[in-house]
Amino acid sequence: MALKETNDAAFADDVLMNDKPVLVDFWATWCGPCRKVAPILEEIAAQHGDKIDVIKLDTDANPATTAQYGVVSIPTMNVYVKGEVVKTIVGAHPKPKLLRELEDYIS
């Protein structure tokens, strides 16, 4: 399962109304650490897409959602369950650490 992208207009439908937990990657094209973590998130989406959706949101193109969730440094990854933020991970981390952070949602 590939990474999906969302935007301000579709965020509620893609994320908040989703039946599954959703990992939202707040990123930007100019962000080096964001580019570093992107392939790891693609692997997580491919391996665990049946349990969690992984969705990217470009912070430059979508300032309303970025501001609404108080994202000030990127990459920031929020986990949403039933429309609520249940976990926030800030910064690029290696895959084993991300999997540990997500184990409640992918096991």
pLDDT in tens, 55-90: 999 999 999 999 999 999 999 999 999 999 999 999
Beta-carbon neighbour count of residue 96 at 10 Å?
9
CATH architecture of 4-102: 3-Layer(aba) Sandwich (3.40)
Contact present, 22 and 48 (Cβ < 8 Å): no
Amino acid identity for residue 40 in this structure: I
Decide if pLDDT at 2 tops 70.
Answer: no
Tokens 């570093």 locate to 36
Give the pLDDT band of residue 3 (cuts 50, 70, 90).
confident
Alpha carbons 17 and 107: distance in angstroms, whole number = 22
Domain ranges of the chain: 4-102
Amino acid identity for residue 17 in this structure: M
Proportion of the chain above pLDDT 70, given as a percent:
98
Please list the active-site residues: 31, 34
pLDDT of residue 4: 94
